[in-house]
Structure 1
């Protein structure tokens, strides 16, 4: 996959547009993935949702199709901002690396900057830094999204209100009736709730795990590049078709998601609030310990299928739209440049 030659701001805008489109398409899968990752075994020893299809049926039956988009606003804002910042920071850092390469090589013309491609190690480091920076600004929205996607029903809220005023201590038990969901408050109200419960720092719950996960975009890009070089002819690697872009990036995302899924699961659970109000998890190590104790190592991959399906569609679509928006920017730039040149001739 060829590295974009557009300035960071243009890359960021294209990435944000791609994110908005893909997030709208795959949001129901994101909702299902979050609920599958946070549900636990009930008194009968079985989880609330037995499969992706079962969860889909249950949500539509209880809340209609609109129930599949519970929390969509916060998630779309979070994803668009996250992608905008990631592509902006990544483009900025790539330019700095190229400028250093050009300066050290003694090359005076920046026209040759495309020749100074990043190594795999540099690409990973740049991607990790861009990911960590972007996640710092979007983690509060990520917390809000998880809360909205797993909001308790009115019945559970009434039960919570009965114990209002009582301090809720961390609890090793996760066997609440967590398979009941209902519509939650708005974005700002949810933020206020989190702040009251945990303080300002609570809005960044799970950020430490998110920083570890900042390798995800970089790993996805690197794996996508490897897949591209291994499967596409050289003539198509610089300018792949939409289908090739979709398949290559979807494949790279699937591999990185499978490798890092325990961290994805942990971040979601750290940001989630139990319907009973209990603070079930306190840290990344706590999530891993309790999950393995209850369900073994396989428990770390609860909800992997829906996460993979979501990633396959989401990342592939994002990159296809980003590619098209970048092409539009280039076309507009050429048209404006040509018009400017013609105006100069007329004068």
Structure 2
């Protein structure tokens, strides 16, 4: 009787569009919570051993905590949220596109049979690539805003115009190649999450008569999945940020610049992701390839876990809203 009751109240599956909406809402909530960590990891990623002696003491960050203290001291609390509007637009559009294509293609494949781990990874990578191609300009703008000195920082539109003025329209797609390679990151994350969730669900099903996964378990499965993906792909994450970053101009006055002009120093220019990795390894070694990883992992893990946690709930409410909307439309048609 209880099983029949559960079956009766079971909600229908969400459409690809509905999944995209739920995923975007979860991503917006997650980014808003962890955004200060996003700025910190980005600024740490563009700093090097060479630049340490050339930069003003209050603008070089030794650690995540050191960065928080110095940013608040120099820019106030708002400094931890520089570029947030662009970041929210970027994460909403990227996750909408990703979840749409992922759920759409997954539903088609599952109709043909069960999916293997390899299929999950390939599907995640393909969906991520489609999302990146259309949404990377917002990522470039966000990176520029996060790493530009507060005196030179412009709003979203102004930053985009500056990028186009400096590098042409293609400048908005800087870092596209490493971004496409980094599509394995969400692929690993969601592939691992689905596998972990399946394994834990089976275990709980055998022990607890088919109970659903608790929010706590979902949170930790999401955290574990994202940690694995971040460690594997971090050097390319750092390389993408450096390609999208705009170093301070060499002719800017010392008082308004990050670097001390009394020193003879110029920032590296990069031709691609491999060039970034090679040059960073040459000057900073392996630790340089993972600079800022503490903030990145904390931010990525919290963000992904919160996203998946919130998405599980927003999915249910989104389904209910879609059902309600459908009934309203059906009622209007009958009246007409």
TM-score (normalised: structure 1): 0.79
Counterpart selection for 1:44 from 31, 35, 53: 53
Residue number among 75, 78, 88 corresponding to 1:66 in the alignment: 78
Q: For the structure 1 residues 343 and 185, does the alpha-carbon distance in structure 2 shift closer, same or farther, using more than 3 Å as the test?
A: closer
Q: 1:125 to 1:273 in 2, by over 3 A?
A: same
The residue that corresponds to 2:229 in the other structure is: 256
Cα RMSD of the aligned pairs, angstroms, is 2.7
1:150 is aligned to 2:119:
no
Residues 143 and 238 of structure 1: CA distance in aligned 2, closer, same or farther (over 3 Å)? farther
Structure 2 unaligned spans of 5+: 1-11, 251-266
Structure 1 residues 242 and 286, CA, compared in 2 at 3 Å: closer, same or farther?
same
Q: Deviations over 1:296-336 (max 9, x none)?
A: 12211111100000011100111111111111123345566
Q: 5 Å matches for 1:66-85?
A: 66-85=78-97
Q: Which residue of 2 aligns with 1:12?
A: 20
Partner of residue 30 from structure 1, selected from 35, 38, 41: 38
Q: 1:198: Cα distance to partner?
A: 1.3
Q: Secondary structure at the match of 1:249?
A: helix
Aligned to 1:159: none
Is 1:276 the counterpart of 2:249? The answer is: yes
Task: Give aligned pairs, total.
Answer: 300
| Counterpart in the other structure of 1:202 | 171
> Separation in 1 of the partners of 2:326 and 2:121?
35
1:139 to partner: Cα distance: 0.7
1:303 equivalent among 292, 301, 309: 292
How many Å separate the matches in 2 of 1:132 and 1:80? 16
Classify 1:279/1:295 alpha carbon distance in 2 versus 1 (closer, same or farther; 3 Å): closer
Q: How does 1:1-347 map to 2 (within 5 A)?
A: 5-41=13-49, 42=51, 44=53, 48-99=60-111, 101=112, 116-154=113-151, 184-231=153-200, 233-235=203-205, 239-276=212-249, 280-333=269-322
Aligned partners of 2:123 and 2:236: how far apart in 1?
Answer: 20
Cα separation, 1, equivalents of 2:275 and 2:52 = 23
Worse-superposed segment, 255-264 or 194-203: 194-203
Aligned pair in 2 of structure 1 residues 252, 264: CA closer, same or farther (>3 Å)? same
* Residues 341 and 132 (structure 1), Cα distance of their counterparts in 2 relative to 1, 3 Å cut: closer
Asked whether the 8 Å contact 1:273–1:279 carries over to 2, the reply is no
